[in-house]
Chains A and B, each alone.
Chain A
Amino acid sequence: MIPALVVFAYLGVVFYIGIFAFRHPGGGGKAEDFFLAGRSLGGFVFLLSLFGTNMTAFTILGASGHAFANGIVTFPLMASSSALVIPLSLFFVGTRMWSLGKRHGFITPVQFFRDRWECGHIGTLITLMQAALLVPYIIISVMGGGTALSAVSGGIVPYWLGGAVVAMVVMGYVFFGGMRGTAWVNTFQTILFLTFGTLIVVVIGRGIGGFPAAVESMAASPVFAPLLSRERFSPWVYFSYTFIPLSSIAFPHILIFCLTARHKAQFKKTVIAYPLCLLAIWLPSVFLGVVANQMSDIPAIASKLEARQELAASPTPALREQARGDDVLVIMLEHYAPAWLAGLLGAGIMAAVMASDSQILALSTMFTEDIFAYYGGKARFGERAQVQTGRVFVVAVTAAAYLVALSRPAQIFDLAVQYAFTGYASLCPLLVGALFWKGSTKWGALASTLWTGIAVLGIAWMQSRSTAPFLPFGLLPAMPVTLISAFLLWSVSVFTRKPGALTLQKYFRG
């Protein structure tokens, strides 16, 4: 019961933060205040909330599960590649986007695309593509909230109620606090992540009698030693994984978040500290996931290891599910940690699954700015009505996500989220072209966007027929899809009409 109380206290705190942000002098009825916190976030909040926005349930639970099955390769595959690509993309793309947003008053990336490429409906298509790739995240988040609250309360809170509580809390602080509330909650959550990561390493390390003995024992075992190197993993697959973090900067909630900094200089500390924050979060998740293989004295982990062995002989979906390690961190903590720390773990998981806040806000921002305002709603009804429309949209999206979460199996959306990474990586050339290449055109952007949609649907179709890799060397689809997207942007742009000279002068010198 103690863990459930800690989690409810946590939910109360984040809800209060949202209300507090609503009472902030800048929390009024202007669109820029609600959607971008008045472009006023300071350095500390900007760094921690941007980092928190990029953290999802996968970071804590999925990473340890992946490491449990695949070993230390998880770390360079996902953490250190992101540590290079994300800060670089923030440095080049994020700062440029911030400058243009500040100069011309853009609130969404599509407002910039429309102006820079002199297009209207192509911008709407890009908005719809971004929204379609974002929706599965929100649904997954509500599902994660329901599952986590149910697990932490020992089943006292059923799945449907857990999902409803989490959805209501997220909706509440986004509805009232807008971007300011979301940023403050994300800052609080990131501090929780960082504290939690250090604590669990200490507690579990002491529980198992120190890490050196556990790792030595794994290194001496022919079964587990390969998990301490990357010998079972293809260098080609490893290489193609570096295309995945390109998706980060193309996510609309990350791009929109880049516009919230008070000064451009706030990106400086962010890009330098970002790799170290990633290290602090990912290292405990991955390392403990690997070491969990040595904890066969815990019955739940022993049954996973048995299922993995049987899986090699007869691969069935039931065995695959049983061998999954997404909950090894929870199992280890239940075994080694006191109840209050297990409660903190529940709050950490809640923080991770509630990363949908910025995505819900981004969808609301895109709807009100790129659709409602663009098609005359703002001119007809005024800015206050636009903000109220954004709030109504927050309620509608959250309610729809909750209803879908109640009626559909999680696996569908798990897959959809994987496709979303590929889709956003494929939209990255479009963003880079818009910002840095004078010669890019709206027709090139259209080709790249249509290709993204076709490619994502094609991959989904291919993988629905077989889960085996279908590209040579097992390469991830994100790599060819992104390269073809870049080629289409370039080749179509070369042969189509450029925007007018006045427009180009606005965005490019010389």
Chain B
Amino acid sequence: MRWFLILLVLAVYLLHQDIWLWRDVRPLVFGFLPVGLAYHIGYMFLVSGLMWILVRCAWSEDEPDGAERHAEDRAG
């Protein structure tokens, strides 16, 4: 799972370097968005989805909340 998530992050990073749309203006998405701009609007939704997956699958719950430890540190 860990390697899958690392590869997923790398893949999303590579999708940012969209040289395949470098010189394209058309099609105009919704009649006014150049395709390169529309791609990156979609890309931001993709990143939001990636973060949702990371939160679901890679969230570290092993950290203690810490409030008690902090209080102990101060007392000690």
Contact = CB atoms under 8 A, between A and B. Distances in A.
Co-assembled chains A and B = yes
A228 B16 contact: no
A84 B22 contact: no
Nearest to B24: A229
Contact of B34 (A99, A215, A274): A215
B35 to A, nearest CB: 8
A211 B38 CA distance: 14
Interface in B35-76: 36-37, 40-41, 43-45, 47-48, 50-52, 54-55, 59-60, 63-67, 69-70, 73-74
A283 to B, nearest CB: 7
A230 B36 contact: yes
A279 B41 contact: yes
Contacts of B55: 91, 268, 271-272
Nearest to B74: A105
Interface stretch (A72-80, A338-346, A369-377, A475-483): A72-80
Interface string A231-259: 10001001100100000000000000000
Contacts of A219: 25-26, 28, 34
B44 A228 contact: no
B28 A230 contact: no
A468 B55 CA distance: 43
Given A104-B73, A271-B55, A238 B17 contact: yes
B64 to A, nearest CB: 7
Contacts of B33: 215
A275 interface: yes
A84 B12 contact: yes
Nearest to A99: B63
Interface string A91-133: 1000110010011110000000000000000000000000000
A319 interface: no
A229 B34 contact: yes
B72 to A, nearest CB: 10
A203 interface: no
Q: Is the interface of A mostly helix, strand, loop or mixed?
A: helix
A72 B28 CA distance: 13
B45 A276 contact: yes
B47 A83 contact: yes
B44 A268 contact: no
Q: Is the interface of B mostly helix, strand, loop or mixed?
A: helix
Given A103-B66, A242-B16, A276 B48 contact: yes
Contacts of A102: 65-67, 69-70
Contacts, number: 129
A242 to B, nearest CB: 7
Contacts of A212: 28, 31-32
A274 B48 CA distance: 8
A46 B28 CA distance: 37
A275 B48 CA distance: 6
Contacts of B18: 76
A287 B41 CA distance: 12
Given A264-B65, A276-B44, A276-B45, A91 B34 contact: no
A279 B39 CA distance: 12
Given A229-B22, A235-B22, A103 B70 contact: yes
Contact of A229 (B12, B36, B52, B74): B36
A274 B26 CA distance: 29
A81 interface: yes
B19 interface: yes
Contacts of A228: 25, 34, 36-37
26 contacts: A72-B36, A75-B40, A79-B44, A80-B43, A83-B43, A83-B47, A88-B9, A91-B54, A95-B63, A102-B66, A104-B70, A105-B73, A212-B31, A215-B28, A215-B31, A215-B32, A228-B25, A229-B21, A230-B22, A230-B23, A235-B19, A271-B55, A272-B52, A273-B48, A275-B47, A275-B51
Given A102-B66, A215-B34, A268-B59, 8 more contacts: A83-B47, A103-B70, A216-B28, A229-B34, A264-B65, A272-B51, A278-B44, A283-B41
Interface of A: 72, 75-76, 79-81, 83-84, 87-88, 91, 95-96, 99, 102-105, 210-212, 214-216, 219, 225, 228-231, 235, 238-239, 242, 263-264, 268, 271-276, 278-279, 283, 286-287
